[in-house]
Structure 1
Amino acid sequence: MLILASGSPRRRELLQLITPDFEVAPSEIDERAVSAPTPRALVAALAEAKARAAAARPGDVVLGCDTVVDLDGRVLGKPADRAGAEAMLRAYSGRWHYVHTGVCALKDGLAHGFVETSKVFFAPLEEDEIAAYAATGEPYDKAGAYAIQGGAARFVTRVEGCYFNVMGLPVSSLYQLLRRLDALG
């Protein structure tokens, strides 16, 4: 059985594009206890930690994932409050940033993983746009304070790489990994 070790409704929705045959068993880890020298290394480490923390039966493939936004080598996670969300959005205004998603498929105790990176460009934003988007409440449970598939779509003028990666699950790359692991039933 394929186990998604995430409570994210977006990841659940995106995994259904690959297969309807999986269970959801969110894992709980202290993400602050995991460190790494780069944002890419951090998401890889977090994805593996989440996969290993999820309960599994013999033969299960457990899928752990983590996504961060990388602005100038700094990790921007979920904002703590409105001021934090607005500061992140302001920082993206008129520039590129990176979105990294680490994926780890744990099978028989062996970790099989990758990190997908997408480059995202935001249009220049006015203060009233930033405030209006922050007021929607949408930024607060999102890495980097925005949902590309939501209201922030109007700010994103360009994506280089996997669009679904920016949502939190690189569908095509994950599909290829699950096929190699014979995890699609």
Structure 2
Amino acid sequence: MQKIYLASKSPRRQELLKLMGLEYTLYIKEIDESYPESLKVSEVAEYISKKKANAFPVSKEGIILTADTIVVVDNEILGKPIDFDDAFAMIKRLSGRKHEVITGVTIVSKEKQISFSDVTEVYFREISDAEITYYIENYKPFDKAGAYGIQEWIGVAAITKIKGSYTNVVGLPTEKLYRELKQFGFSL
């Protein structure tokens, strides 16, 4: 079986691969996550995942796996917050509304490269300022797109429904990934 090189610092992606029963080696490198302003919002996550994948050398016996997750509201991308105030503003903007979470994934071997995206709709109830403050102070969501993690308090207490893949919102659409990995010869 080929070896998987996960090029991601995300502990959530690492945990999801473990839950899938896959062994991997981490590849960590700082990658510029900028993208052309002319790109459609729906294409940004996949574009960045490809950019990340192309920053690593591919060995004969392995594949590189990269991903990028974005949160989109009103056709605007909410990135990772830079501080408390930024996180507060993002969550306040998501409060009582629907938004989309898009994860782009790229898999590269010596022979081929495939990329795909998954979209999940997420619905928040109205969240009070005190609840937003509680969440930020206790969960410090500064490494998460849109300033929240669905697997944390906010997901349990404030998300009323999702349409699509739960694991996509966590950071990796595992069902689609599993199907695509089979194209690379992976199986249990």
For structure 1, list consecutive stretches of 5 or more residues without a partner in the other structure.
none
Question: Could you tell me whether the CA contact under 8 Å between 2:59 and 2:109 is conserved in 1?
Answer: no
String of CA shifts for 1:2-60, please: whole Å, max 9, x gaps. 1111111100000112233211112321112x225222211111101111112331231
Match of 1:161 among 150, 164, 188: 164
TM-score between both structures, scaled by the size of structure 2 = 0.92
Number of the residue aligned with 1:178? 181
**Is this contact kept in 2: 1:78–1:143, CA < 8 A?**
yes
Tell me the number of residue pairs that the alignment of Structure 1 and Structure 2 aligns.
184
Deviates more, 1:132-141 or 1:121-130: 132-141
Q: TM-score, normalised by structure 1?
A: 0.94
Gaps of 5+ in 2: none
Is contact 1:48-1:111 (8 Å) kept?
no
Counterparts of 1:159 and 1:41 in 2: how far apart (Å)? 21
Which whole-Å CA distance do the structure 2 matches of 1:108 and 1:80 have between them?
A: 37
Once the two structures are overlaid, the 10-residue window that deviates more, 79-88 or 35-44, is: 35-44
State the distance in 2 between where 1:53 and 1:109 align. Answer: 17
- Residue identity opposite 2:74 in structure 1: D
CA deviation after TM superposition for structure 1 residue 143, in Å: 0.8
The CA deviation at 1:138 is: 2.5
SS of equivalent to 2:82:
coil
**Cα offset, 1:97, TM superposition:** 0.1
Counterpart of 1:61 (choices 63, 78, 101) is: 63
For residues 13 and 120 of structure 1, what CA distance do their matches in structure 2 show? 22
SS at match of 1:2: strand
CA distance 1:81–1:109, change in 2 (3 Å): farther
Match of 2:53 in 1: 51
> For residue 11 of structure 2, what is the aligned residue in structure 1?
9
- Give the conservation status (yes or no) of the 8 Å contact 1:40–1:102: no
What one-letter code is carried by the residue in structure 2 that aligns with 1:46?
I
Give aligned-pair identity as a percent: 35
CA distance in 1 between counterparts of 2:78 and 2:146 reads 5
Q: Distance in 2 between matches of 1:29 and 1:109?
A: 23
Q: Which residue of 2 aligns with 1:96?
A: 98
* Deviates most, 166-175 or 39-48: 39-48
